[in-house]
Structure 1
Amino acid sequence: MTVIDAHQHFWMTGRGDYGWLTQESGDLYRDFLPDDLLPLMRKTGVDGTILVQAAPTVAETQFLLGIANDHDFVKGVVGWIDFESPTVWDDLDQLADHEKLVGLRPMIQDIADDDWMMSEHIVHAFEALTSYGLTFDALTYTRHLKNLELLIDRHPEMRVVIDHASKPQIADGAYAEWAANMRLLAETTTAYCKLSGLVTEAGDNWTIDDLRPYTDRLLETFGPERLIWGSDWPVCTRVASYEKWYETTLELIGGDEQVRAAIFGENAIRAYCL
């Protein structure tokens, strides 16, 4: 099967546009670049990746597209533009000709206004994204999910991927509200959902049994045809190695080869039109 890691990052600390990445970030506070990831991909049999933005700047998106130009294993880039800019169509036009730009991701989790995505003054940004055939990566928490359903209803032609299963608070045992809202999204929209970032939300001492209720709910509601595997490397290395998360996912989803092929590659190819 073709294996696509649908969520990984590269960064260079010297760029200076990662507001969240500081010396307090510990082992994450260093450069992570293709030569760091390639040995991990070879070890696990990963064929290609989707490279996702980590800074809210167009400059970082251009930096990532440059990496994608130089490395064939990067099959697509999910970038960033300012959704609030009055020139969003022109801004996107400068990026959209790049064949490896496959999506956009505003960093909703860092925006103070939980209703931001429903603001009238950014409707044109979602219209532009959809017009250019790009995918919207939704970086959300549980508290955003009701608005996300409304947003998808407003833009029914927009392809949507929910990052990190909307970051359920696994370490705190929070489940019911997240599970109910994810079921509603699965039943009322065509959104995809990433099996990524869950070990980070489970914390340092996570076990597979901590994760299983969440992945079981996702398999039940989104089904294997709308789940997409991603490593969230190098963020995942806070609590798990690349190989450990890969192997854990295999165990969580079971041994059916068709299910594995869909979650580990086929769905990403569809969701991002690779």
Structure 2
Amino acid sequence: MRIDAHQHFWLRERGDYDWLTPDLEPLWQDFLPDDLAPILEKNAIAGTILVQAAPTDEETAFMLSLARAHPFIRGVVGWTDLSVADAPTRIAALASDPLIVGLRPMLQDLPDDDAILAPQVQPALAAMTRHGLALDALIRPVHLPRLIALRESHPDLRVVIDHAAKPYIASGDLERWARDLKAVAADGITHCKLSGLVTEAAAGWTLDDLRPFVAIVLEAFGPERVMWGSDWPVLNLASDYQGWVGATHDLLSDLGPEQQASILGGTAQQFYRLEER
């Protein structure tokens, strides 16, 4: 079963997508399940993980309403403020909904690079572990060492790095990113999404621009801890769904069928515990 482990929807009139502005012309429209469903069918993708795009509880409720109406949405990665005193209570309530598979603080947008390590956040992370929710880490390379410290405090928290931590593909600067990514992966537990790479590449990117970065991800995590995602519709800034699917097939062509199957669906099913839902 093929799973898209990372996609978004939004309805602009909801008004909480502060990052979404008219200058992002390919994204300045509504994107909803009826837009994605035929694309999934064309590419033989059976289901998706719907990931938050706004840091509000209201958007999480919106995503859950979409998931209840559209069965191809196999799980929702929502949001709640992990720093507030009642975060553990909020997390328990969210976890009672079987469609919630994880939470994503938008760490890349926070002014403090150490935000995930703040003392007030630790009870929330413990609650996520207790209730079986995964942490989607929306981070940049600077945050990778923070994940090592996070793991020391929460060894049983399931963590997946979104978009391979957004490496500097456009500049080709991979040395420090590769070192820190491998250090994180050495825990044998943390997972990584093969997604969001084309939007970090320069305009007119080629497969050769991506290959060194994909090779490092696969070397660090192995296929059993890598999951493919489209990052649709953000993907539309640099490609389209069919283009990224085709690129993925080329980038993974040296792997065996079982390894490809893990990356294209099996890893996501295991990590997000979709088989239990």
Q: TM (normalized to structure 1)?
A: 0.98
Moved segments of 4+, more than 2 Å? none
Instruction: Report matched runs for 1:179-258 at 5 Å.
Output: 179-254=178-253, 256-258=256-258
**What SS does the corresponding residue of 1:75 show, helix, strand or coil?**
strand
For 2:202 and 2:61, the matched residues in 1 are separated by: 33
Give the CA deviation at 1:261: 0.6
For 1:253 and 1:168, the matched residues in 2 are separated by: 19
Give the CA deviation at 1:73: 0.3
For 1:96 and 1:16, the matched residues in 2 are separated by: 26
Over aligned residues, Cα RMSD in angstroms? 0.9
The answer to whether the 8 Å contact 1:126/1:155 transfers is: yes
For 2:18 and 2:151, the matched residues in 1 are separated by: 29
For 1:119 and 1:236, the matched residues in 2 are separated by: 32
User: Can you list the C-alpha shifts for 1:169-215, whole angstroms capped at 9, x where unaligned?
Assistant: 10011100000011111112410100000000013211000000000
User: Can you list the C-alpha shifts for 1:46-69, whole angstroms capped at 9, x where unaligned?
Assistant: 000000000000100000001000
For 2:155 and 2:261, the matched residues in 1 are separated by: 27
Corresponding letter in the other structure for 1:232 = D
Give the CA deviation at 1:27: 1.8
For 1:250 and 1:150, the matched residues in 2 are separated by: 35
Corresponding letter in the other structure for 1:141 = R
For 2:29 and 2:93, the matched residues in 1 are separated by: 30
The answer to whether the 8 Å contact 2:91/2:124 transfers is: no
For 1:145 and 1:165, the matched residues in 2 are separated by: 10
The answer to whether the 8 Å contact 2:92/2:127 transfers is: no
**What SS does the corresponding residue of 2:227 show, helix, strand or coil?**
strand
For 1:203 and 1:95, the matched residues in 2 are separated by: 39
Instruction: Report the more deviating stretch, 184-193 or 12-21.
Output: 184-193
Instruction: Report matched runs for 1:60-71 at 5 Å.
Output: 60-71=59-70
The answer to whether the 8 Å contact 1:153/1:189 transfers is: no
For 2:196 and 2:98, the matched residues in 1 are separated by: 27
Instruction: Report matched runs for 1:7-156 at 5 Å.
Output: 7-156=6-155
User: Can you list the C-alpha shifts for 1:96-118, whole angstroms capped at 9, x where unaligned?
Assistant: 21111000000000001011111
For 2:271 and 2:151, the matched residues in 1 are separated by: 15
Q: TM (normalized to structure 2)?
A: 0.97
Give the CA deviation at 1:93: 2.8
The answer to whether the 8 Å contact 1:11/1:54 transfers is: yes
For 2:224 and 2:271, the matched residues in 1 are separated by: 11
Give the CA deviation at 1:92: 1.9
For 1:194 and 1:94, the matched residues in 2 are separated by: 27
**What SS does the corresponding residue of 1:114 show, helix, strand or coil?**
coil
For 1:243 and 1:127, the matched residues in 2 are separated by: 39
Q: In the alignment, which residue of structure 2 is the partner of 1:262?
A: 262
The answer to whether the 8 Å contact 1:149/1:189 transfers is: no
For 2:68 and 2:189, the matched residues in 1 are separated by: 31
Q: In the alignment, which residue of structure 1 is the partner of 2:163?
A: 164
Unaligned runs of 5+ in 2: none
Q: In the alignment, which residue of structure 2 is the partner of 1:271?
A: 271
User: Can you list the C-alpha shifts for 1:124-147, whole angstroms capped at 9, x where unaligned?
Assistant: 110111111000000011000001
For 2:93 and 2:30, the matched residues in 1 are separated by: 27
Instruction: Report the more deviating stretch, 31-40 or 184-193.
Output: 184-193
Unaligned runs of 5+ in 1: none
For 1:135 and 1:189, the matched residues in 2 are separated by: 16
For 1:199 and 1:56, the matched residues in 2 are separated by: 24
